[in-house]
Amino acid sequence: MPAISLQDAFRAHPVHLQSHTHQDFTTLSELPDSYKWEDHHHHYPSSSLVTDDQTIPVIDLNDPNALQLISYACKTWGIFQILNHDVPLALFNDIEFVCKSLFSLPKEQKLKASRSPDGVSGYGLARISSFFKKLMWYEGFTIAGSSREHFPKLWPQEYIKYCTIVEEYEEEMKKLAGKLMWLILESLGLSNEDLKWANLINGTMKEARAALQMNYYPACPDPDQAMGLAAHTDSTLLTILHQNNISGLQVQREGVGWVTVPPVPGGLIVNVGDLVQILSNDLYTSVLHRATVNRTKDRLSIAYLYGPPSSVEISPISKLVGVARPPLYRPITWVEYLDTKAKLFNETLSTIRLSVVHNV
């Protein structure tokens, strides 16, 4: 049976954004009304007082207690930052160079590599834009497959240089994602035998699916009323994020509000995705997060979206369920999950949640 691609999950739900144009942000000295999110700080206030229990965990993967630290971070935050991840630091400069070069191209050139309404790869607005009346101060470029599909349209004479960097970055992220997935399983007290479909060989999931998402948040004339990327959870097993040295990523902390994830030199951010929440039967939770914008500085981030083989059914792992803790979710493939999220957005997890009757 041929593998199902990520593209298949979106074909049934094309995103038509007739009123959502590709704005040339360099031409705007004032924030247009279509970009004003007046009430987003009122509904989700930012934390003005940062204490130790409101600081995103930073974990050295060489720490002997790394497993326990990962477990704590996944249970209490759904996000953490990592150091000593073995990704060459020079590669971060290289991938930022690709992003800067891409997003600084003339608008007409970028549009030559536009994502189709029913597609995954290419240049465009965030797919979640269709769920909101207001526009986001954002440009994105998604690579699900090979960068050689679109980069020749952007750089006809020198695309190979940029493709090579992306391919090197993706290879490093693939290795790291497999290692992190293994650590997350171990932190739950699990082994490869408990998740046979993962086929984790030497820390790599043999048939994993992934996409690379490059994000650009230009400097904004009125950042307090603008939104970079609206609040959402990731439809992945996990997401590995590199951000440049400009803050903007925020996560929602219950009872606190939005907490900023500051850039850590040489660090990477790891988000728990919806699928790990399902696998762990809610022991670990995916994190609601968003991106804000800056008045004077551009912000870049590169997300590696890591998922399972597309046709494998994801459900709570049997070792983590029992009479006292019955399964909370029905089995679902990643393609079906993406298909449902394209329709229901942040309500998707609740729609596959099972009604649990507790015996007293």
* Active centre residues (catalytic): 299
Q: In Å, how far are 185, 191, 324 from 194, measured between CA atoms? A: 9, 5, 19
* 143 Cβ contact partners less than 8 Å away, ≥ 6 residues apart: 121, 150, 166, 170, 211, 212, 213, 214
Q: Which amino acid is at 3?
A: A
* 50 Cβ contact partners less than 8 Å away, ≥ 6 residues apart: 259
DSSP 330: -
The answer to whether the CB of 19 falls within 8 A of the CB of 214 is: no
Supply 267's token pair: 């660090």
Supply 336's token pair: 């079906």
Listing DSSP states for 122-164 in one string gives EEES-GGGGG-SSPPS-EEEEESS-GGGTHHHH-TTTHHHHHH
Q: In Å, how far are 61, 227, 300 from 217, measured between CA atoms? A: 30, 9, 6
| Alpha carbon 57 to chain centroid, angstroms | 18
